[in-house]
Structure 1
Amino acid sequence: MTRTNLGRRGFLFGAAGLGAGAVLVGCTSNEPEGQNNQQPVAGGQGANSEPGKQVTIGFSAPAADHGWMAAVTINAKAMAEQFSDVTLNATEGTNDVNQQIAQVESLINGGVDVLAILPFDGKALTQVARQAMDDGIPVVNVDRVFDTPLAYRCWIGGDNYRMGVNAGNYIAEELKRQNKNNPVIGEVAGIDSLPLTQERSQGFKDALQRHGFRVGPRVAAEFTPESGERQTANLLQGAQKLDALWNHDDDQGIGVVAAIENSGRSDFFVVGGAGSRNMMELIKADSGPVKATVLYSPSMASSAIAMARLLGQNKGLEDLAEHEIPAELTTYSAVVTKENVDNYMDVGFDS
């Protein structure tokens, strides 16, 4: 991933000086000049892109053993480099819960001003995050949520349920456009024991039901190309008829596409999930089964660093009336298609 991945989403939350700093009341009034008693509308706190107080941000995330997770750390580091008033102390990614706890404790003891943490296990990291909050260090919780809001000042993450909804809506509308009756719709999920997978599947099911359709053959993979290929091959062997397939994750989607190519089948289309550059290139080429992907963008890490900076400087989001950073920010799972793919290449990540 290059730094261009920050794009407009990387700077969405006040990092590019988008606002005017204050919202002015209208000039039209029936009152005589000088008699307008309206109060100014609350606004932001100046140009947030301008250098301010120096802020040291501690950053911790799991190991970069997955394209999406690797992009999280890449985006965080690249965003920090955009600010002359930010020093980023990033720990080495780890999937060892105890090691991540120790790393966060080290950041706390090192005197960081703000923490941005994507926990490998939200429940396990809750106590150390709460320790930081109790010590007066604001915590930006990224994606995998801690067990209590007392452990974070702000949460930013994706909308897993709506990701499934938007995938289901796109597939249903496309099948209706093709005049498909009683279509067979498959699903290659992620790890079924994870709440995020359950939420994605529920949203997918609910959206299809709304259109009068249902989920057909379904398998669960493990977010890896190998498991994606293996499980998709199993699904295709048992589904002689298939009209559409939703794959939850574009990293495992590499294997999903490989299994489809190996099968020689071309009787259905595929919608991916997360928004890898690999899948976006396939969508743009429009020469294979992949016709869309639903975003769950790692650019949320860029925004987390931008918000951590503002928290450290006691600023709000300059385009909003509130003086403080919101407690929660949920990213939107846009559907990327051939028609709009160029608009989203900037947030694509390498699988």
Structure 2
Amino acid sequence: MTETHENPNSPTASPSSRTSRRNVLFGTAAAGAALFAAGCTSNKSNDDKEEAGQANVADDKPGKQVTIGFAGPQADHGWLNAINEQAQERAKKYKDVTLEATEGSNDNAQQVGQIETLINKKVDVLVILPADGKALTQVGLKAMRAGIPVVNLDRVFASQQAYRCWIGGDNYGMGLNAGRYIGEKLKDKKNAKVVELAGIDNLELTRERTDGFDAALKNYPNIEKVARQAAEFTVESGQSKMAQLLRAEPKFDALWNHDDDQGVGAERAIKQAGRDDFLMVGGAGSRRVMDTIKADNGVIKATVLYPPTMAASAIDLARALGQGKGVGGLAEFEIPASLTLYSAVVTKENVDEYLPTGFK
């Protein structure tokens, strides 16, 4: 998922660039300049202008009919299944939206074929979560050239020309917040040791999560990361790689696991080893982990969110694009070019607030 140019979505951009520039990129400057010029010369009253602005904002009231094509990877993972559910449930909320969803695939060629079918159906807008952003960039470009705006969900395409709007999680921020939480818990402990159970190492998102984690730990000189294993976002890999970590490190104080699904296996390995002498922080925000945090009867003390609600928001953005409207609460008449979601840390103190967002 490496990118070919420097932009705020690029994994090669600096972490500060990714996390700051992504959050506040908005629609075309030319359109904004035109609106400003029109405002300076218009004879309309302020009330007329406010009404015009409100009419250009998407809301729940039925409007122009929009057909949204939705294409994501195969839902063979709890988080990905939640992505599909969020998109489908959000679409049902709107009487003016028809959702055309593919079966999903982890095979790049097959997913390209599914998206091309949606292009041939002439859907109004496409929402695409690519199995591999770089590999599917060309089909994103094809859709945009065909006049179908693309909402790129989470795994970013290699060219900004392949999408109109990107929305997704903050992988660097996810690692950063996990590291800060662990750092604060261990800041008074001498010679503290932590280990990391990462995700799939050939995905840029995994490297970004590790980079954020390592950056946070640099603020705590008493803490050393002594081991790291990369799993595969599956229960089986989580169990086997966690077992390796436990054998290699007979004593450590904290574990950060990138993914709550592979965490099911990690917890099995921990239980089998009879270990409870460290705290564990999960990743993504499954309902199972949130329930465990609330019960406070195990090693899991927190999880860092990677909200699947981004799929529901992607449907909102796609609908607004299809209707030529902006987003409520913002002054701009265009939807943003990029939206990065925040990776909140869920603990026993705030878990009730986040329970409704937990995925199965």
1:273 aligns with 2:280: no
- Within 1, Cα distance between the matches of 2:58 and 2:297? 45
Aligned length: 313
TM-score normalized with structure 1 length = 0.86
Offset of 1:43 from its aligned partner? 5.2
Paired residue for 1:135? 146
Per the alignment, in what secondary structure is the counterpart of residue 116 of structure 1?
A: strand
Paired residue for 2:93? 82
State which of 318, 328, 331 in structure 1 corresponds to 2:341.
331
Report the AA paired with residue 166 of structure 2: W
**Are 1:63 and 1:92, in contact at CA under 8 Å, matched by a contact in 2?**
yes
Report the AA paired with residue 264 of structure 2: I
1:144 aligns with 2:155: yes
Offset of 1:292 from its aligned partner? 0.2
Paired residue for 1:119? 130
Q: Structure 1 pair 209/139, CA: closer, same or farther in 2 (3 Å)?
A: same
1:150-229 alignment, distance < 5 Å: 150-176=161-187, 179-212=188-221, 213-229=223-239
Between 307-316 and 206-215, the greater mean CA deviation after superposition: 206-215
**Are 1:205 and 1:214, in contact at CA under 8 Å, matched by a contact in 2?**
no
TM-superposition CA deviations, 1:45-83 (whole Å, max 9, x none)? 356111110000000000011111111111111110010
- Within 1, Cα distance between the matches of 2:298 and 2:46? 63
Offset of 1:342 from its aligned partner? 1.0
TM-superposition CA deviations, 1:12-44 (whole Å, max 9, x none)? xxxxxxxxxxxxxxxxxxxxxxxx999978955
Paired residue for 1:91? 102
**Are 1:113 and 1:137, in contact at CA under 8 Å, matched by a contact in 2?**
yes
Between 95-104 and 147-156, the greater mean CA deviation after superposition: 95-104
- Within 1, Cα distance between the matches of 2:146 and 2:333? 23
Which structure 1 segments of 5+ residues have no match?
1-35
1:54 aligns with 2:65: yes
**Are 1:60 and 1:118, in contact at CA under 8 Å, matched by a contact in 2?**
yes
Per the alignment, in what secondary structure is the counterpart of residue 256 of structure 1?
A: helix
Structure ranking higher in helix proportion:
2
TM-score normalized with structure 2 length = 0.84
Per the alignment, in what secondary structure is the counterpart of residue 112 of structure 1?
A: coil
Per the alignment, in what secondary structure is the counterpart of residue 263 of structure 2?
A: helix
Q: Structure 1 pair 99/108, CA: closer, same or farther in 2 (3 Å)?
A: same
**Are 1:185 and 1:216, in contact at CA under 8 Å, matched by a contact in 2?**
yes
Per the alignment, in what secondary structure is the counterpart of residue 335 of structure 2?
A: coil
Paired residue for 2:11? none
State which of 242, 245, 259 in structure 2 corresponds to 1:232.
242
Paired residue for 1:289? 299
Offset of 1:222 from its aligned partner? 0.7
- Within 2, Cα distance between the matches of 1:192 and 1:185? 19
**Are 1:43 and 1:320, in contact at CA under 8 Å, matched by a contact in 2?**
no
Per the alignment, in what secondary structure is the counterpart of residue 134 of structure 2?
A: helix
- Within 1, Cα distance between the matches of 2:46 and 2:173? 44
The runs of at least 4 consecutive aligned structure 1 residues that moved more than 4 Å come to 36-44
- Within 2, Cα distance between the matches of 1:263 and 1:47? 54
Report the AA paired with residue 287 of structure 1: N
1:341 aligns with 2:351: yes
TM-superposition CA deviations, 1:221-257 (whole Å, max 9, x none)? 1101111111111111111211000000000000111
Paired residue for 2:80? 69
- Within 2, Cα distance between the matches of 1:131 and 1:79? 26
- Within 2, Cα distance between the matches of 1:330 and 1:46? 21
Per the alignment, in what secondary structure is the counterpart of residue 217 of structure 1?
A: strand
- Within 2, Cα distance between the matches of 1:267 and 1:55? 54
State which of 102, 105, 115 in structure 2 corresponds to 1:104.
115
Report the AA paired with residue 162 of structure 2: A
**Are 1:43 and 1:318, in contact at CA under 8 Å, matched by a contact in 2?**
no
Report the AA paired with residue 201 of structure 1: T
**Are 1:168 and 1:208, in contact at CA under 8 Å, matched by a contact in 2?**
yes
Q: Structure 1 pair 39/88, CA: closer, same or farther in 2 (3 Å)?
A: closer
Q: Structure 1 pair 204/230, CA: closer, same or farther in 2 (3 Å)?
A: same
Between 207-216 and 143-152, the greater mean CA deviation after superposition: 207-216
**Are 1:250 and 1:275, in contact at CA under 8 Å, matched by a contact in 2?**
yes
Q: Structure 1 pair 37/104, CA: closer, same or farther in 2 (3 Å)?
A: closer
User: Taking CA–CA contacts closer than 8 Å with sequence separation of 6 or more, which of the two structures ends up with the larger relative contact order?
Assistant: 1
**Are 1:244 and 1:270, in contact at CA under 8 Å, matched by a contact in 2?**
yes
Paired residue for 1:243? 253
Between 37-46 and 186-195, the greater mean CA deviation after superposition: 37-46
